[in-house]
Amino acid sequence: MTVIVLTNCPPGLRGFLTRWLLEISPGVFVGDPSARVRDVLWDEVRQYAGQGRALLTHSTDNEQGFTFRTHDHAWQPIDHEGLTLIHRPSAGPPPGAAPEKPGWSNASKRRRFGRR
């Protein structure tokens, strides 16, 4: 079983994948292609994803029973003693976001001091 999940990818790529896989939800493709076809599909996805992100997972013969690959995701797979785990970045402000203002919000000040 193979599952490909696309986020913010061109519509042409979605149309390309529907030749071999079934789109069960917008951007979610499921099917059972051969390993060779799956690798060719993944190469095409990586080439044409543009600014989008992609995730491929497929069944395999390991302890977890599946493996996955990512393209342009902040979450990265890492190998931990034979198991593939996801490394998530720390929860900080998104890149390019304005820094938070220190102190209390105006609404909080009004509630605290009873002003309307």
Q: What confidence tier does 50 reach under pLDDT thresholds 50, 70, 90?
A: confident
The per-residue pLDDT for range 78-108, each reduced to its tens digit, is 888 888 888 888 776 666 666 666 777 788 8
- Strand positions, DSSP E, 26-74: 28-31, 53-59, 66-71
Q: How many structural domains comprise the chain?
A: 1
104 domain residue, yes or no: no
pLDDT band (50, 70, 90) for residue 37: very high
Q: Is residue 38 part of a domain?
A: yes
Given a cut of 70, whether residue 29 has pLDDT beyond it is yes
Q: Are 84 and 60 in contact, with CB atoms under 8 Å apart?
A: no
User: What confidence tens digit (pLDDT) does each residue in 57-81 have?
Assistant: 999 998 889 988 999 888 888 888 8
**Residue 8 belongs to some domain of the structure:** yes
Contacts with 68 (C-beta within 8 Å, 6 or more apart), sequence order: 55, 56, 57, 58, 77, 84
59 assigned to some structural domain: yes
Burial class (CB in 10 A: 0-12, 13-18, 19+), 52: middle
CATH number at residue 16: 3.30.70.240
